[in-house]
Amino acid sequence: MSETEPVASEGTAFETHKFFARPWVFIRGVPSMDILPPEGPPEIAFAGRSNVGKSSLINALVGQKGLARTSNTPGRTQELNYFVPGGYSGEGADLPPIAMVDMPGYGYAEAPKEQVDAWTRLVFDYLRGRSTLKRVFVLIDSRHGIKKNDAEVLDLLDKAAVSYQIVLTKTDKIKPAAVPKLLAATHEAIRKRAAAFPEIIATSSEKHVGLTDLQATISGFVEQV
């Protein structure tokens, strides 16, 4: 798993637009390791506390409102949900594949302990054992910053040597002047973490802020052909 930033090639902006403009499809929900899809194309994963906005961010990245399920009920995503570009003959069909994985939200206190433990084992068995996983994007709610259960997940990612990058969500929900302060505080919080990529991406799914930066980072993990 790479811990370096992907290298952008010439024409990245145009290629990135085509890359995410393709229709994407949900292919599988994975409740246990024994039914993971075969390893093949590169994978990137999204982690975060329940209700942090993972589904909304995935939908905004690909411009499809109904791709990832959104819910007002925390903890609805209980599986590893796989999304890939669908097969078609339109613009961007010649671009290489990648898989995006929506991981179960953590920190859902109302779920039974045995269910929480099962979700946790699934997530971290996946993180430790998936050679095609290029990076985990850890989503942090801008209104709250890094909380205790976020820090515990970062500890586990550091221990497993899984490359990860912080993505701040819902920046439209805080005052504009607070965003630079939050970025500085978050940089300081991850400065000494071994597996953390230093660049933090501030986003708003609702206002389409930061999506281009995140798209460019994701598409950069795929070798352009």
**142-147: average pLDDT:** 97
pLDDT over 60 (residue 1): no
Whether residue 1 lies inside any domain: the answer is no
Whether residue 122 lies inside any domain: the answer is yes
Whether residue 6 lies inside any domain: the answer is no
pLDDT at 193: 97
* pLDDT category of residue 6 using cuts at 50, 70 and 90: low
User: Cα(42)–Cα(171) distance, rounded to whole angstroms?
Assistant: 29
Q: CATH number of the domain that 160 lies in? A: 3.40.50.300
Whether residue 2 lies inside any domain: the answer is no
Whether residue 143 lies inside any domain: the answer is yes
β-pairing, 99-102 vs 80-85, is antiparallel
Nearest to 124 by CA among 85, 158, 92, 84: 158
Bridge partners of residue 91, in order along the sequence: none
pLDDT over 50 (residue 225): no
**pLDDT tens per residue, range 7-17:** 444 445 547 87
Nearest to 50 by CA among 112, 110, 130, 136: 110
Q: Domain count of the chain?
A: 1
User: Cα(136)–Cα(100) distance, rounded to whole angstroms?
Assistant: 10
pLDDT at 89: 45
pLDDT at 113: 76
User: Which domain, by its residues, includes 62?
Assistant: 12-219
Whether residue 188 lies inside any domain: the answer is yes
pLDDT at 138: 98
pLDDT at 79: 85
pLDDT over 60 (residue 42): yes
Whether residue 5 lies inside any domain: the answer is no
Whether residue 80 lies inside any domain: the answer is yes
pLDDT over 90 (residue 44): yes
Q: What's the whole-model pTM score?
A: 0.87
Nearest to 162 by CA among 187, 194, 190, 192: 194
